Amino acid sequence: MERIAINPPELFSGKAFSQTFSISTPQRLIFVSGQVDCDREGKVRNPDDLEAQLAGTLDNLKIALRAQGASMRDLVQVTIYVVGLRPEDTARIREIRSAYFDAERPPAVTLLGIERLAFPGLRVEIDIIAAQ
């Protein structure tokens, strides 16, 4: 079984995690660490802006998948963490994410409201599993 960790140069380089990780089995699985709306230096791009952060986080997720030779069509499991999630936020979150996900075969999705994330100003974090 081949295990491949890739940290794309366009993303923040973490000290204690890989941005992406894949395992080659009969079907290759790809694991992507929680992505947030930060630039490659780790600076939050859109502090406290839920909608902008969701789009920026999904864009970073596309970069991470591309580094593994995958795309958003390969998603099988998505977990979205939102600081201060309110019921009225879910429709807008669904609308934004649907522009990124395969409409014919959408992934399994979990949406969680949480108290805080790693950096001040962050509202959204997403981790995924993809399969090819």
CA-to-CA separations, 54 to 21, 23, 27, 50, 89, in angstroms, rounded: 22, 27, 29, 6, 12
pLDDT of residue 73: 94
Is the CB of residue 63 less than 8 Å from the CB of residue 92? Answer: no
| Residue corresponding to tokens 């499991």 | 77
* Rounded Cα gap, residues 70 and 8, in angstroms: 13
The whole-number average pLDDT for the span 15-21 is 74
Burial environment of residue 25 by CB neighbours within 10 A (0 to 12, 13 to 18, 19 or more): exposed
Mean pLDDT, the chain, whole residue set: 92
Which H/E stretch holds residue 66? helix 50-67
- Residues paired with residue 44 on neighbouring β-strands, in sequence order: 38
Q: Is the pLDDT of residue 22 over 90?
A: no
Q: Is the pLDDT of residue 27 over 90?
A: no
- Domain chopping of the chain, boundaries: 29-131
The whole-number average pLDDT for the span 37-52 is 96
pLDDT of residue 18: 78
Q: Which two tokens stand for residue 127?
A: 């981790």
Tell me the pLDDT band of 127, cut-offs 50, 70 and 90.
Answer: very high
pLDDT in tens, 62-117: 999 999 999 999 998 999 999 999 999 999 999 999 999 988 888 989 999 999 99
Helix extents (H) in 4-129: 50-67, 90-98
Q: What percent of the chain has pLDDT over 90?
A: 75
CATH 3.30.1330.40 corresponds to the domain 29-131: yes
